[in-house]
């Protein structure tokens, strides 16, 4: 039951974060033609990117908490920490969109993504450490190459954005594509756990 409520609260925050971004796209009031929407286009593109990222986070968060044997105080706080960084996504999305993907807003967007990735990694560690580093869950997560690739991509994208926003843009879209494939590793643990209920703690 405790796990349920952590999930419910996280779902609530993520659902709101994903939805309030749409409030940043202001409908032009006395302009009733499709070309009048052109100024909103960068905001729309940045909304799509952030919707994708938050959808991916929700999806992986869903699998990760499902695989967690129980909720500890460390899980509670690392989860809140992750939600903090994700709650900043609407702000950096708006700044990036309103400034038409200028170098520094692109870099800051990457910095928030990087911090969210670090926070997700910390949540993952908190969940793995419940059962120990030799546990089935720890082994299933394995070398976590997706997490490493993302971190590397952000580390390149943040300074890269200052050279050319295209470097950052390609990195962010690329990382999103890499993560769109759901995490097979966790799905396997969950399946094994259901078939062999004595596998975990």
The answer to whether 144 touches 179, Cβ cutoff 8 Å, is no
| Nearest residue (CB) to a copy of itself, 6 versus 130 | 6
Binding to a copy of itself (CB under 8 A) within 73-92 occurs at 73, 76-77, 80, 83-84, 87-88, 90-92
Opening angle at CA 87, ends 56 and 27, nearest 5: 90
Residue 133 and residue 67: Cα distance in Å, rounded?
A: 15
Residue from 50, 67, 82, 105 touching a copy of itself (CB under 8 A): that is: 105
Q: Does residue 12 interact with a copy of itself by CB under 8 A?
A: yes
| Nearest residue (CB) to a copy of itself, 31 versus 155 | 31
Q: Quick count: other Cβ atoms within 10 Å of Cβ 85?
A: 19
Q: Does residue 29 interact with a copy of itself by CB under 8 A?
A: yes
Binding to a copy of itself (CB under 8 A) within 128-147 occurs at none
| Nearest residue (CB) to a copy of itself, 133 versus 188 | 188
Burial of 186 (0-12, 13-18, 19+ CB in 10 A): buried
- Sign (positive or negative) of CA dihedral 71, 72, 76, 79: negative
Q: Does residue 94 interact with a copy of itself by CB under 8 A?
A: yes
- Give the total of residues touching a copy of itself (CB under 8 A): 59
| Nearest residue (CB) to a copy of itself, 23 versus 201 | 23
The answer to whether 30 touches 84, Cβ cutoff 8 Å, is no
Candidate ranges 96-104, 119-127, 141-149, 166-174; the one touching a copy of itself (CB under 8 A): 96-104
| Nearest residue (CB) to a copy of itself, 30 versus 134 | 30
Residue 18 and residue 84: Cα distance in Å, rounded?
A: 13
Residue 183 and residue 63: Cα distance in Å, rounded?
A: 8
- Contact residues for 108 (Cβ-Cβ < 8 A; gap 6+): 92, 95, 96
- Per CB under 8 A, residues contacting a copy of itself are 1-2, 5-9, 11-20, 22-25, 27-34, 37, 48, 51, 55, 58-59, 62, 66, 73, 76-77, 80, 83-84, 87-88, 90-92, 94-95, 98-99, 102-105, 108, 180, 182
């Amino acid at each position: 039951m405790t796990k349920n409520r952590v999930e419910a609260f996280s779902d609530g925050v993520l659902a709101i974060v994903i939805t309030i971004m749409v409030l940043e796209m202001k409908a032009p009031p006395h302009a009733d033609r499709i070309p009048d929407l052109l100024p909103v286009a960068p905001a729309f593109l940045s909304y799509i990117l952030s919707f994708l990222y938050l959808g991916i986070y929700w999806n992986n968060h869903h699998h990760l908490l499902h695989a967690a044997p129980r909720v500890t105080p460390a899980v509670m706080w690392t989860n809140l920490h992750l939600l903090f960084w994700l709650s900043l996504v609407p702000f950096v999305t708006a700044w990036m969109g309103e400034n038409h993907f200028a170098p520094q807003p692109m870099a800051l967007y990457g910095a928030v993504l990087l911090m969210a990735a670090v926070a997700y990694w910390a949540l993952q560690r908190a969940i793995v450490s419940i059962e120990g580093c030799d546990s089935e869950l720890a082994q299933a997560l394995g070398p976590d190459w997706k997490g490493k690739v993302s971190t590397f991509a952000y580390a390149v994208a943040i300074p890269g954005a200052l050279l050319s926003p295209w470097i950052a843009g390609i990195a962010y879209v690329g990382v999103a594509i890499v993560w769109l494939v759901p995490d097979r590793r966790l799905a396997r643990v969950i399946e094994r756990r259901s078939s062999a209920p004595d596998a975990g703690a």
